[in-house]
């Protein structure tokens, strides 16, 4: 069992409307271990934050968790403006992050990829908090300096306007890589709206998608607490980064019958519920987290060894025996014998996801060609666009081999 003072402490920095909603949902959970009060909601638009509060079941006064920055009117889909406004207020934002992230050694940066605020600010913050180039002072503070930075990027519904698909590809490029081609986020988790929710984007469907995302994050965070063979947050990032396979998607199956413990079948079920379209047999990294009632673990009905063996067998069967990663079993005090499984599949071929946006990406790019105006009117310089396209292409090709 992990000692109470050794488990990973998580914090959440969310930017933009969708990212804010996911974070508010994390904050509002009844049972909220691992994160506690370590939540910061960033937005360029005060009204968006009000939407977040009113739509979620968040009773708490969110004021202390909120930082509105930039011109306070939103950036209307323009991620270049989102980035500029973040940079302009970076001192205040960094102060707030450091204040709210006290003790957090792992930080989740949550954003949607179709808009301008979150998509503009999160890739910038990931890089800036690591490089710390925008300030004259010594550093941004202890809770920024050493944090492991994991990001959640939410892919637009496939039927959303071309602008959104355009933003998403370039957002993914920037989460993965900095302009110089180096790794940006330590780990990038992808969730596709259309893939999680087949209803194609009626308003309340966001809540369903967000619930699924929160469920996966809960399982992921749980694996660093009270588990046998604890997955430390370093384990999530070290080996996948070393082999250049640091994009992931969660794949979740819950409430499986723990009386019929066929783990390989459970892994299959989870893999069928990956959050983006992907082929598990292309994965280069894979983690399995099994959550079971504490009593079953105590009675050795669920054991780490068995799960480990089953996961090895499952990986062999998928032809990915060499994928880096590990397994863990984590207890819940729930009654009964239901078991939940989270797979984190990484380094897979991204083309099945990217194919969905390929046509609208090109169409939108051509529309922009003359002035390359984004949403609210700023432009993206040709050189910048070339860099972002090349970085994504190189990363995807390296993983698709």
Rounded Cα–Cα distance for residues 78 and 116 (Å): 4
- Among 46, 51, 41, 50, smallest CA distance to 20 is for 41
Half-sphere exposure of residue 305: CA atoms within 13 angstroms, side-chain side: 2
Query: Residue 44 interacts with ligand GTP (CB under 6 A)?
Result: yes
- Residue of 74, 240, 277, 346 that binds ligand GTP (CB under 6 A): 74
Position among 18, 224, 277, 280 found at the interface with ligand GTP (CB under 6 A)? 18
When asked if residue 17 is in the footprint of Mg ion (CB under 5 A), the reply is yes
Q: How far is CA 33 from the centre of its chain?
A: 18
Applying the rule CB under 6 A, the residues between 327 and 346 that interact with ligand GTP are none
Regarding 378 and contact with ligand GTP (CB under 6 A), the answer is no
| R_g over Cα of the chain | 20
> Minimum distance between the CB of residue 204 and Mg ion, rounded to whole angstroms?
18
Helix (H) or strand (E) holding 384: helix 382-400
Residue 48 within binding range of Mg ion, rule CB under 5 A: yes
DSSP string of 90-119, one letter each residue: HHHHHHHHHHHTTT-SEEEEEEESSSSHHH
Token output for 92: 């205040």
Residues 50-109 that bind Mg ion (CB under 5 A): 74
Residues 362, 157: Cα–Cα separation, whole Å: 17
Strand-strand pairing, 66-68 and 106-112 = unpaired
Q: What mask, x for binding ligand GTP by CB under 6 A, covers residues 75 to 114? A: xxx----------------------------------x-x
- Residue 47 C-beta: closest distance to Mg ion, Å: 9
Q: How far is the CB of 191 from ligand GTP (least distance, A)?
A: 7
- DSSP three-state, residue 14: strand
Contact code string over 151-180 relative to ligand GTP, x by CB under 6 A:
---x-xx--x---x----------------
Residues that bind Mg ion (CB under 5 A): 17, 48, 74
Which residues form the interface with ligand GTP (CB under 6 A)? Answer: 16-18, 21, 44, 48, 74-77, 112, 114-119, 154, 156-157, 160, 164, 193, 206, 209-210
């Amino acid at each position: 069992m992990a000692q109470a003072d050794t488990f990973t402490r998580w914090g959440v920095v969310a930017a933009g409307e969708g990212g804010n909603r996911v974070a508010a949902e994390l904050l509002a959970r009844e049972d909220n271990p691992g994160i506690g009060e370590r939540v910061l909601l960033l937005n360029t638009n005060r009204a968006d934050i009000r939407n977040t509060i009113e739509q979620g079941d968040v009773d708490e006064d969110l004021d202390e968790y909120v930082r509105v920055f930039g011109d306070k009117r939103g950036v209307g889909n323009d991620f270049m403006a989102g980035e500029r406004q973040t940079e302009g207020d970076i001192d205040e934002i960094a102060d707030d992050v450091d204040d709210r992230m006290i003790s957090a050694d792992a930080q989740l940066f949550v954003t949607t990829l179709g808009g301008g605020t979150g998509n503009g600010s999160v890739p910038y913050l990931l890089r800036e908090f690591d490089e710390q180039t925008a300030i004259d002072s010594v550093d941004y503070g202890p809770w920024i300096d050493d944090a492991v930075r994991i990001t959640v990027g939410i892919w637009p519904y496939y039927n959303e306007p071309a602008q959104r698909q355009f933003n998403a590809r370039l957002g993914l490029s920037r989460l993965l890589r900095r302009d110089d081609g180096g790794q940006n986020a330590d780990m990038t988790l992808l969730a596709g709206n259309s893939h999680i929710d087949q209803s194609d984007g009626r308003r309340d469907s966001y809540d369903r998608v967000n619930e699924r995302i929160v469920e996966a994050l809960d399982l992921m965070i749980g694996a660093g607490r009270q588990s046998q063979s604890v997955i430390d947050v370093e384990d999530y990032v070290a080996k996948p980064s070393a082999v250049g396979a640091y994009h992931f998607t969660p794949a979740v199956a819950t409430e499986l019958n723990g009386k019929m413990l066929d783990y390989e079948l459970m892994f299959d079920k989870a893999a069928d519920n990956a959050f983006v379209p992907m082929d598990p047999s292309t994965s280069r990294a894979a983690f399995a987290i099994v959550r079971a009632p504490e009593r079953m673990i105590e009675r050795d009905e669920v054991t780490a060894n068995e799960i480990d063996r089953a996961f090895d067998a499952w990986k062999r069967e998928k032809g990915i025996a060499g994928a880096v990663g590990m397994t863990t079993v984590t207890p819940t005090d729930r009654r009964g014998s239901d078991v939940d499984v989270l797979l984190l599949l990484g380094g897979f071929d991204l083309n099945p996801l990217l194919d969905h946006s390929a046509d609208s990406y090109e169409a939108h790019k051509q529309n922009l060609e003359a002035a390359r105006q984004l949403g609210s009117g700023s432009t993206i310089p040709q050189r910048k666009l070339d860099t972002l396209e090349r970085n994504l292409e190189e990363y995807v090709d390296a993983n698709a081999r």
